[in-house]
């Protein structure tokens, strides 16, 4: 039985190559901390020709959520963390878990416990009064089963050692000692026959051939309890690496006031998956002074022994800067593709209405939502906005990217910079733009409108438009900026935009002249 494997669980890596797993509970979104854990596992396996397996720990049927399962799978796929084989359902393996519990009973390594809730509560109150944690010493550990009450369904407890120590040798935490007197007899089967977390994890990890367990430091005590199960079954204990948690920029435990927490939020905020991978791996691990690391570099360099023991801090400013680098380095076609994939995940009305912590970092997706609803009230979702870009022509959007990506740190900022292309007339003016459209600015726009009206569709290109307006500036003795600024405000509703002559070309002759007319003293 020690080497028993069933069905798809038997898949292993090549000899001496690691087999790792990511095992999320489907009770909510894919947390950014879980994403980093998955990334660490994925990199460790890929760099050593190993296997990266996925197990959904769905034994808690009341909290299990199929939408959460889908969100986890989608988040991993978006991050580019492909797993090997089919995802394993822990719940589907409950019979196998019960089988191992029966074997532990047979070996005398576990026992039926008939202690009542009242007895356990009394022990808890006594421990509380004495200022110590509850270590429940079941009276049924060595009691004759013949004394068992007939009308009570027992739990099954592991018969943990009372003396000595349980040692966890951890790649991150080091040599960790747990006095056995501090570890009580763990429940491995509930009274309804359902297995508990620690038993299910050990059985599944063994059957899946897991060689390295890389997970959050909050599971360190579980490692000691699970080690005892491994030892009682005569199974090899996998190597452990318990990684520190991610904290906010202020050093406190990550919470809503620190901003986004779920991978789908980071996606909606316009972060690129390769940038997020690069950033996440550096939350607790580094390779010298290298800041920008390709996925190939990470696969080659990453090692669990290099993970820091101290909690890492999530800093959105650093992530923004890193993401901006990846945006500038990306091809225009790739950015257009990423934008088309991102937009369906945005619900502008919900984002605009969402309550946000005033102390949380500004969110670019919320900023975009508010700008979209200001300029294009009918576009309540990203899908609506995508339809408007499609009607304008994605090729036109593509032509705008070179100028937009130089000043964008997220895809949402890039889209925000392109809103002028699909804004409704009359264009809504931001405050700075409105100030540019004073009497002098409107008079300037009227003159520009007259000049540009003489240019036909075939000549409506940025170089020709620039030449005509520069000639106008020279002829009137006006500075080019005094002409371009109110013109930009008329075309985009903003004081900052891509080069104004590019904007004219992107909008097209008819739309551009109409907007200038709206903001001119004609």
Task: Provide the annotated active-site residues.
Answer: 256
Q: Which of 146, 90, 89 is nearest to 114 (CA)?
A: 146
DSSP 281-327: HTSS---TT-----HHHHHHH--GGG--SSPEE--HHHHHHHHHHHH
Q: How many distinct helices (H) and strands (E) make up the chain? A: 22, 12
Sign of CA dihedral 83, 85, 91, 97: negative
Q: Which residues are annotated as a binding site?
A: 256
Q: Which residues are annotated as a binding site for ATP?
A: 256
**Alpha-helical runs (H) found in 172-272:** 197-207, 220-233, 263-268
- C-alpha dist (Å) from residue 261 to 36, 94, 285, 352, 401: 12, 31, 20, 18, 29
Alpha-carbon gap, residue 506 to 511, rounded angstroms: 10
Alpha-carbon gap, residue 429 to 451, rounded angstroms: 24
Q: Which of 309, 241, 298, 303 is nearest to 273 (CA)?
A: 298
What radius of gyration do the chain's Cα atoms show? 31
CB 44 within 8 A of CB 76: no
- What distance lies between CA 386 and its chain's CA centroid? 23
3-class DSSP assignment, residue 421: helix
């Amino acid at each position: 039985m020690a080497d028993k494997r069933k069905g798809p669980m038997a898949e292993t890596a090549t000899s001496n190559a690691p087999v790792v797993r990511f095992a999320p509970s489907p009770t909510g979104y894919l947390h950014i901390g879980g994403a980093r854990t998955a990334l660490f596992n994925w990199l460790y396996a890929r760099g050593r020709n190993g296997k990266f397996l996925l197990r959904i720990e769905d034994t808690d049927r009341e909290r299990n959520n199929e939408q959460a399962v889908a969100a986890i799978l989608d988040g991993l796929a978006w991050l580019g963390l492909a797993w090997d084989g089919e995802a394993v359902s822990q719940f589907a393996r409950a019979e196998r878990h019960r089988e191992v519990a029966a074997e532990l009973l047979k070996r005398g390594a576990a026992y039926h416990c008939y202690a009542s809730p009242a007895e356990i509560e009394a022990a808890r109150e006594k421990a509380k009064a004495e200022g110590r944690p509850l270590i429940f010493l079941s009276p049924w550990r060595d009691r004759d089963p013949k004394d068992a009450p007939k009308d009570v369904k027992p739990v099954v407890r592991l018969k943990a050692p009372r003396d000595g120590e349980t040692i966890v040798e951890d790649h991150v935490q080091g040599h960790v000692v747990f006095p056995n007197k501090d570890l009580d007899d763990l429940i491995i089967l509930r009274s309804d026959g359902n297995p508990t977390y620690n038993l299910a994890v050990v059985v599944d990890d063994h059957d899946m051939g897991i060689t390295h367990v890389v997970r959050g430091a909050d599971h360190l005590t579980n490692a000691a309890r699970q080690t005892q199960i491994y030892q009682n079954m005569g199974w090899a204990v996998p190597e452990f690496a318990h990684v520190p948690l991610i904290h906010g920029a202020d050093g406190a435990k990550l919470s809503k006031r620190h901003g986004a927490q779920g991978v789908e939020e980071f996606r909606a905020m316009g972060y690129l998956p390769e940038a997020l991978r690069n950033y996440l791996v550096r939350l607790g691990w580094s390779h010298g002074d290298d800041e920008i690391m390709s996925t190939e570099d990470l696969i080659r360099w990453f090692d669990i022994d290099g993970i820091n023991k101290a909690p890492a801090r999530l800093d959105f400013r650093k992530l923004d800067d890193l993401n901006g680098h990846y945006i500038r380095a990306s091809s225009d076609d790739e950015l257009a593709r990423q934008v088309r994939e991102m937009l369906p995940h945005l619900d502008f009305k919900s984002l605009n209405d969402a309550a946000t912590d005033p102390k949380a970092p500004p969110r670019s997706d919320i900023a975009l939502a508010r700008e979209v609803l200001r300029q294009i009230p009918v576009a309540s979702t990203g899908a609506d906005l995508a339809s408007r870009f499609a009607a304008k022509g994605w090729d036109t959007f593509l032509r705008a990217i070179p100028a937009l990506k130089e000043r964008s740190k997220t895809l949402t900022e890039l889209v925000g910079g392109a809103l002028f292309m699909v804004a409704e007339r009359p264009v809504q003016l931001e405050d700075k733009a409105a100030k540019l459209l004073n009497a002098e600015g409107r008079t300037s726009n009227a003159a520009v409108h007259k000049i540009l009206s003489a240019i036909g569709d075939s000549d409506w290109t940025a170089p020709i438009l620039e030449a005509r307006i520069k000639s106008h500036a020279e002829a009137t003795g006006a500075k080019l900026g005094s002409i371009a600024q109110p013109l930009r405000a008329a075309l985009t509703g903003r004081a900052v935009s891509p080069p104004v002559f590019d904007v004219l070309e992107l909008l097209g002759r008819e739309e551009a002249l109409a907007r200038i007319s709206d903001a001119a003293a004609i």
